[in-house]
Amino acid sequence: MRTITKNGVRIDDTFAEAFPMRGTALILTGPNKRWARQAAVTMTGFATSVIGCGCEASIDGEVEARDTPDGRPGVRVLIFAMSSNDLQTQLVNRVGQCVLTSPGSACFSDLVAADALKVGDLLRYFGDGWQISKKFGNRHFWRVPVMDGEFLCEATTGFTKGAVGGGNLLICGADYEKTLRAAEAAVEAMNEVRDAIMPFPGGIVRSGSKVGSKYKALHASTNDAFCPSLRGMTKTALDDDIGCVLEIVIDGLTEAAVADATRAGLAAIIKLGPRNGARRVSAGNYGGKLGPFHFHLKDLLA
Amino acid sequence: MTLVLTLKVTPPQRLDLSVLLPHLLADKSSKDVAAIDLATTREKITVGDLFRIRAGSAEEIRFEGGSERFDGVGQGLQQGRIFVAGDAGINAGRQMTGGDLVISGNVGPYAGSAMTGGRLEILGNAGDFLGAPREGELNGMSGGLLVLRGAAGRRAGDRLRRGTILIEGDAGDWLGSRLIAGTLIVLGRVGVSPGYLMRRGTIVLAKPPALASTFVDCGQFASSFPAVFGRFLLPESRGAARLFRAPLRKFAGDMAVLGKGEIFVPA
């Protein structure tokens, strides 16, 4: 494969192939930063991949108290799914089980869009008749009495059909330590990009997959071409100087957010250089025929 | 440019100004406007008889000078803006569904009666039955925002169903009587029996009188709701925003009826 070398890091002339998704954004607040974050962490747990989790979700960033609707510390979370129905189901289950239950929490929509999903409009029934509806201007809230006071929840949240899921970077390094360092640096830089999340643990996935399997029941299986221990046994994509590969997957509310996150990650990896970090960066695609969004790495070099 | 109607003479009779709305005057020339009949008696009286007209876009109508005889100002307002530099009579902003109506003086009874949307601001005082239903109607105000800078008469917010009424001055007896839902805030003093027979809804009182025995004490109130609502109200009223920032105590009632309403007072 042709490569471009930047600061000693080889960038493959390839692209990440991504897919349309549905996505929404919420602001969760709490009595302090710790409990705002706890609600967000719990709600976005077990949400790495739509394949097994039903949705992909993570924290987009912290929101200062002065910028939240109720003046308390907040956290912005993004949730993505393949269909509007899936997103609706996941959203109400997760807010209901993880945010409603979290001490002192409140839940606000943070995406204005023509299409809406129900949040408080469904969770209000928990109030068993004691729930109170409040409207002001074009915003509608439900107040649900709970044991520590009231759970305040916006009735609906906007969602976009223009979200993009599956942007990715394959980070290849000499050994485990250096590759992880490069991946961590990339995630840290990408966390600064608004409207984009990296849903895997700490933003990093070590078990990248390919489409299909030798077993009929499985749709996806290990990406053997990038497994260092299978070099020589399979048609490998790895060079002799690569001992470890980690992947970062990106979901964004817009195509631009995914591109910006990819750009930020690439810049951080290149800045770190091959001595302490990655020797090569590649990206995953399916030949370009499955997903409509193509993020060419060479176009995203700062 | 604003359409300006400057009052030339004291109206010789009560007027029906509900015909002077932006959407009704959109395509009319000054001559057409001058010919509009405002009479409520058999004596005909037209816009031209009463006002000096400065032509302009009817999207914004400005009355220079008002009168206690200006009935139905902005009644049925749908969009655009009306400003009255002066007083108005009964039914100001009644049944408005949108737009912005500002009256710099005092208004008579039934201001904002049964309004469903838009914003009504009265800089002076209001008569009885602010936002209330008229005879035979089931609901009072059911949407929008009503801001009264002065004092209200009796039974302000009667049968309020949705929307927000903010009274910066005092309010008379039976504030929020028969309240169905919605939010009613009073920064000044309040007469007897606020929330009389209220079913649901929220009344917030900065200086509460003794509440009726059919209101039960629910203790100190913990919720994000006052903070959120206070922030919404900040552009309208610093006093209201301050009231919502302080700790509140909740009373539930009126237990003589459904009892799911609430009166908040400073804790």
| Residues of B within an 8 Å Cβ radius of A | 143, 145, 162-164, 181, 183, 200, 202, 221-225, 227-229, 231-232, 260, 262
Q: Which residues contact A129 (CB under 8 A, 6 or more apart)?
A: none
DSSP string, A71-130: SS-EEEEEEEESSHHHHHHHHHHHIIIIITTSTT-EEEE----SEEEESHHHHGGGGTT-
Distances (CA, A) of B256 to A205, B212, B214: 62, 10, 6
Per-residue pLDDT tens, chain B, 267 aa: give them.
Answer: 899 999 999 999 999 999 999 999 998 999 999 999 999 999 999 999 999 999 999 999 999 999 999 999 999 999 999 999 999 999 999 999 999 999 999 999 999 999 999 999 999 999 999 999 999 999 999 999 999 999 999 999 999 999 999 999 999 999 999 999 999 999 999 999 999 999 999 999 999 999 999 999 999 999 999 999 999 999 999 999 999 999 999 999 999 999 999 999 999
Domain formed by A3-18+163-300, architecture = 2-Layer Sandwich (3.30)
Fold exhibited by the domain B61-266: Pectate Lyase C-like (2.160.20)
Angle at B84 between CA B83 and CA B86, to 5 degrees: 155
Q: What is the pLDDT of residue B30?
A: 93
Distance from CA of B224 to the nearest CA of A (A): 6
CB contact under 8 A, B223 and A134: no
Q: Could you tell me the two tokens for B263?
A: 């009166």
Spatial CA neighbour of B59 closest among B77, B38, B44, B40 = B77
- Find, in chain B, the residue whose alpha carbon is nearest to that of A104: B223
Enumerate the domain spans of chain A. 3-18+163-300, 22-160
**How crowded is the C-beta side of A137, counted as CA atoms within 13 Å?**
8
Look at domain A22-160 and name its CATH class: alpha beta
Same fold, A3-18+163-300 and A22-160: yes
User: First and final CA of chain A: distance in angstroms?
Assistant: 22
A chain contacts of residue B222, beta-carbon cutoff 8 Å: 148-150
ipTM of the complex: 0.92
pLDDT in tens, B113-171: 999 999 999 999 999 999 999 999 999 999 999 999 999 999 999 999 999 999 999 99
pLDDT in tens, A55-73: 999 999 999 999 999 999 9
pLDDT reading at A302 higher than 80: no
- Find, in chain A, the residue whose alpha carbon is nearest to that of B222: A149
Enumerate the domain spans of chain B. 61-266
| CA A272 – CA A171 distance, rounded (Å) | 12
A chain contacts of residue B264, beta-carbon cutoff 8 Å: none
User: First and final CA of chain B: distance in angstroms?
Assistant: 49
CB contact under 8 A, B224 and A70: yes
Please tell me if residue A130 touches chain B, with a CB cutoff of 8 Å.
yes
The amino acid occupying position A267 is: A
Contact A54, A89 (CB under 8 A): yes
